Amino acid sequence: HAGAWAEWVGHPCLEETRTSTERPALRQTFGVAPGDILVALLPGSRSSEIRVIASRMAKAVSIVNAERRVRFVAVVPGEFVREARSYLPSSIRIVSDCAKELLFASDAAVVKMGTATLEAAVTDTPQVTVYDVSLAGRVEWCLLWAWRHIPFLAMPNIILEREAVPELIGLNCQPEKIAQTLLRILGDKTTRDKMRNDYALVRQALGSDLPIPPTERTAQVVEEMLSETMGRIRPERLTV
């Protein structure tokens, strides 16, 4: 509306993708045998998120492992590894600062709402998205936000404006529902394929079809703008 020139160059997260040939070696780094099923747990990047989400993930893991054998690895920022361990049993390995690598190596993921849901889409990892807050946070939500119509919280859903990945929010963010949803994804190829088809649309919306990578095109735009600006500047006349 202001008349400023703009160009969509794409999202830089697309530049950090890995090839399928890297996946077996990457799975080995997380201690996963070739025939194992690996599920990534991403309980959040803040202490308040880990405190609410991690314990529910731990209970969901117990429910899932009662049904079938699955390996679980959690990833959190390095400064929160000790706190995460207080909520997650020793059977769940905890790693730090390698979320995208873990997602790429995994067969599915349970992901706290946020940027990580987009990273799961970029790495093509089927996911269950979850989110909840403390009791005080729920009161704040009811007072400030509950009256607003917010159809989706997971970024792939926001981008496509429909449900591409399941969202378990608030009272629905319970271990039983998390486990049931994850088991459905692991056991139903059709569900996984549909989610991955939607992921392709998400990546397309992020600029996967653009001819030039985002960072490179951004540098070109800056050079073009500087060149145009410098061309307009006339050298000052020298007085003798």
* Residue whose entry in the numeric block shows the structure tokens 């486990």: 179
Report the length, in residues, of the chain.
Answer: 240
| The pLDDT of residue 186 | 98
Residue 140's pLDDT band (cuts 50, 70, 90) = low
Q: Residue 76: helix, strand or coil by DSSP?
A: strand
Is the separation of the CB atoms in 45 and 81 below 8 Å? no
What is the token pair recorded at 131?
Answer: 């989110």
Beta 38-42 vs 71-76: how paired, if at all? parallel
* Residue whose entry in the numeric block shows the structure tokens 């095109």: 217
Beta bridge partner(s), residue 133: none
Which position has the higher pLDDT, 49 or 231? 49
* Residue whose entry in the numeric block shows the structure tokens 């160009």: 7
| The pLDDT of residue 84 | 97
| The pLDDT of residue 240 | 46
| pLDDT exceeds cutoff 60 at 236 | no
Is the separation of the CB atoms in 127 and 108 below 8 Å? yes
| The pLDDT of residue 83 | 96
Q: How far apart are CA 131 and CA 167, in angstroms?
A: 8
What is the per-residue pLDDT across 70-121, written as a single tens digit (0 to 9) for each?
Answer: 999 999 999 999 999 999 999 999 999 999 999 999 999 999 999 999 999 9
Q: How far apart are CA 115 and CA 92, in angstroms?
A: 23
| pLDDT exceeds cutoff 60 at 234 | no
| The pLDDT of residue 232 | 67
Q: How far apart are CA 109 and CA 211, in angstroms?
A: 31
- What is the overall mean pLDDT for the chain? 89
What is the per-residue pLDDT across 152-164, written as a single tens digit (0 to 9) for each?
Answer: 999 999 999 999 9
| The pLDDT of residue 144 | 58
Share of the chain above pLDDT 70, in %: 89
E strands, the chain, in order: 38-42, 71-76, 93-96, 108-112, 127-131, 167-169
| pLDDT exceeds cutoff 90 at 191 | yes
Give the count of alpha carbons within 13 A of 186, CB side only: 23
Q: How many other CB atoms sit within 10 Å of the CB of residue 21?
A: 7
The pLDDT of 158-187, averaged and rounded, is: 96
Lowest mean per-residue pLDDT among 2-16, 155-169, 204-218, 223-237: 223-237
